[in-house]
Amino acid sequence: MPKKAAVAKAEEITAEKIFGPGGLLQTRHPSYEFRPSQLAMAEIVEQAFEKHQHAVIEAGTGTGKTLAYLIPAIRSGRRVVVSTATKSLQEQLFQKDVPFLKKNFAPNLKAALMKGRANFLCRQKVHQIDGQAMLKGIDEVDWFSQIRDWEKLTETGDRSELTFLPDDSDLWNRIDARRDLCTGQKCAEFQRCFITAMHQRAHEADLIIVNHHLFFADLALRQDDFGSILPEYSAVVFDEAHEIEDVASDYFGRQLSSYRFEELARDTESMLRLLQIDAAPLRRQLTRLREHARSLFERFPEREGRYPFGVTERNAFMEQNREAYDQLASEIRRIEAELSALTPKPEEVVTMARRAAEMRRELAFLLESEEKSYVYWYERRGRGIFLAATPIDVSEILREKLFEQFDSVVLTSATLAVGGRFDYLKQRLGVLPSAECILPHEFDYANQAMLYLPRALPDIRHPSFAERAAQEIAKVLEISEGRAFCLFTSYSQMKDIYERVSRSVAFPVLLQGTAPRSTLLGRFRSTPNAVLFATASFWQGVDVPGAQLSCVIIDKLPFAVPSDPIVAARVRALQDDGRNPFAEYQIPKAVLALKQGFGRLIRSKTDRGILSILDNRIQRMQYGKIFLESLPEYKTTQDLAEVARFMESHAD
């Protein structure tokens, strides 16, 4: 492990002398302002590292939590992994915060940014494709030409540098560095490989910045004794820690999609062509693989969505479709055998045979396993079928693989507590005893925001709800002059109310699904008085500070869909354990989602605006108090005229 770079750790340099009034940050940060919660958080994180303990910290927007954990991390003298929810937050830490720290506090700091392999270019594939007739259309020829030139200049090989390449470009899938086709140290480009370079930087680093997906991919690999992605470390900080359960569930589960079979056939054909291997029998088997995969997966119902696929459903499916399944499994086995029989046998062939074997085992597990610790389900998305087995409870896995293995795990987010307690989070994640703190808000919510709860709307299940909700939204938008997010818990409700509202207001109205998420956000930010109708993906991770976003309206309390197979299985598991799933799981999960949605509005001390929820259950049901107690102390009203006066009093 490398020698650690550290902000001066002499006894007299305390966290207060860095973060407090007149401290080092004030003299070195251009936009410094003293924030008591930032200082308090830094002290808790520093203590966690010093005393080798865990910490759970709810720190609202405006706390300055990034520096509050980064500075203690580099002062700790330990190798620390920082895991964020998104790649964009990763890049912000690495490109903005790390350079600031190196310049002003720790000139010898070594930091590394790590992403999944699919984010990086494979030099070997570029060299193999160059000169081959494998590009489709003029666009791909042009893009490949630019990528070939870029490959000679780039230091990272990170796709984020390629601003000209569309997000949905199939070309990148054929030249990225994903593990499926990697031959590792036997590759001619191993020493110059961008993945190799990334790992070398990480092994030399004091601070390693990853995202949750990569972190849990690594943790799952360690569990299965397949090695690791990250170098050894002793402490980890999770930013946006409220997302951990869902991400961990994915990586400790099993998944296989219908697309994987087409990709296996395509990649094998491409490999044979590049290596100039004839193998006519194998090519015929790849054609049959496509046919048998199509035959099996087209037998799933045509309805879109996610559905349970437990023992009963799978037994019925296999009883009707055993022949189609056996044919597909046999075809994969024949392809494995053909690949293994090829001579000579380049490493690419060995890798492809291993990949086919893994897919055959995954298919068998997902269709025939009876392990009771998983919930089995399938999902149809367009033409694709996705089979999955998800752990019903990841708390035991995380307790054993994370909280018992690493002595300092810091969990932080603006939304971790429910009703002023961390019980839900600790229960779901298996958190061991830790320091806990809900930091005071840095914003004056009582004066910056008004929570409007309409008194006259019908129950959300009443047939008239959509029409009445649309009328209410239109009234609120007139007061806010547009400049609003209207957030929904379902696509159908979003589209229904969008149709009604867009006919009755004069503001530009944007709809999720009509353009990529980043494009819609860009349009919202640049279009005066715009209104965006959106669902779950806009409830968190979206930052629009200033008057451009002055209103957030939510149609329903965001309870998870009870028929979702994962939700249903977790509810059933709690019931079987004699517990109350509504109180212990469904309400807390919805509370955190609501806090995330409302968190879009107030992003700075100068932001002002209206928050509104149209679901009257928050007022008439006993559990509504838990939602209200978990939100900041907004000024609350049921009077639309008071909302208008509030907005007028804060008009520029």
Q: Where in the chain is the domain with CATH 1.10.275?
A: 254-391
pLDDT tens digits along 16-37: 999 999 889 998 888 888 999 9
Asked whether 123 and 151 are in contact (CB, 8 A), the reply is yes
Q: What letter does residue 403 receive in the DSSP assignment?
A: I
Element housing 410 (H / E): strand 408-413
Q: Which residues pair with 256 in a beta bridge?
A: 387
Q: Given pLDDT bands bounded at 50, 70 and 90, which one contains residue 10?
A: very low
Asked whether 552 and 487 are in contact (CB, 8 A), the reply is yes
DSSP 19-57: HSTTSHHHHH-TT----HHHHHHHHHHHHHHHHT-EEEE
Q: Given pLDDT bands bounded at 50, 70 and 90, which one contains residue 1?
A: very low
**Helical pair 491-502 and 465-480, crossing angle rounded to 10 deg:** 60
In the three-class reduction of DSSP (H, G, I as helix; E, B as strand; rest coil), residue 165 is classed as coil
Q: What is the pLDDT of residue 527?
A: 93
Largest Cα–Cα separation, the chain? 81
Q: What is the pLDDT of residue 3?
A: 44
Q: Does the pLDDT at position 164 exceed 80?
A: yes
Q: Does the pLDDT at position 471 exceed 70?
A: yes
Q: Does the pLDDT at position 184 exceed 90?
A: no
DSSP 323-336: HHHHHHHHHHHHHH
Task: Write down the pTM of the prediction.
Answer: 0.90
DSSP 563-606: TSHHHHHHHHHHHHTT--HIIIIIHHHHHHHHHHHHTTT--STT
User: What does DSSP say about strands 408-413 and 434-438: parallel, antiparallel, or unpaired?
Assistant: unpaired
CATH superfamily label, 15-110+205-249+394-438:
P-loop containing nucleotide triphosphate hydrolases (3.40.50.300)
Q: What is the pLDDT of residue 12?
A: 65
Q: Given pLDDT bands bounded at 50, 70 and 90, which one contains residue 7?
A: low
pLDDT tens digits along 271-282: 888 888 888 899
Asked whether 7 and 80 are in contact (CB, 8 A), the reply is no
Q: Does the pLDDT at position 458 exceed 90?
A: yes
**Rounded to an integer, what distance in angstroms lies between the CA atom of residue 81 and that of residue 405?**
14
Q: Provide the CATH number for the domain formed by 445-649 in this structure.
A: 3.40.50.300
Token output for 558: 């965001």
HEC readout, 199-258: HHHHHHCCEEEEEHHHHHHHHHHHHCCCCCCCCCCCEEEEECHHHHHHHHHHHCCEEEEH
Token output for 144: 């490949």
CATH of 254-391 among 1.10.357, 1.10.3470, 1.10.275, 3.30.519: 1.10.275
**Rounded to an integer, what distance in angstroms lies between the CA atom of residue 296 and that of residue 261?**
11
Q: Given pLDDT bands bounded at 50, 70 and 90, which one contains residue 621?
A: very high
Which amino acid belongs to residue 459? Answer: D
pLDDT tens digits along 93-137: 999 999 999 999 999 999 999 998 989 999 998 988 877 767 788
Q: What is the pLDDT of residue 553?
A: 94
Phi, psi dihedrals of residue 436, rounded to the nearest 5°: -130, 140
- The answer for 279, left when phi > 0, alpha when psi is -120 to 50, beta otherwise, is left
Q: Where in the chain is the domain with CATH 3.40.50.300?
A: 15-110+205-249+394-438, 445-649
Q: Among residues 123, 132, 203, which one has the least CA distance to residue 155?
A: 123
Q: What is the pLDDT of residue 270?
A: 85
Q: Among residues 583, 612, 598, which one has the least CA distance to residue 415?
A: 598
Q: Among residues 339, 330, 255, which one has the least CA distance to residue 295?
A: 330
User: What does DSSP say about strands 531-534 and 509-511: parallel, antiparallel, or unpaired?
Assistant: parallel
Token output for 509: 């109205």
Q: What is the pLDDT of residue 227?
A: 62
Question: Counting Cβ atoms within 10 Å, is residue 164 exposed (0-12), middle (13-18) or buried (19+)?
Answer: exposed
Asked whether 355 and 263 are in contact (CB, 8 A), the reply is no
- Dihedral sign computed on CA atoms, order 396, 399, 405, 409: positive
**Rounded to an integer, what distance in angstroms lies between the CA atom of residue 500 and that of residue 484?**
16
Element housing 270 (H / E): helix 258-274
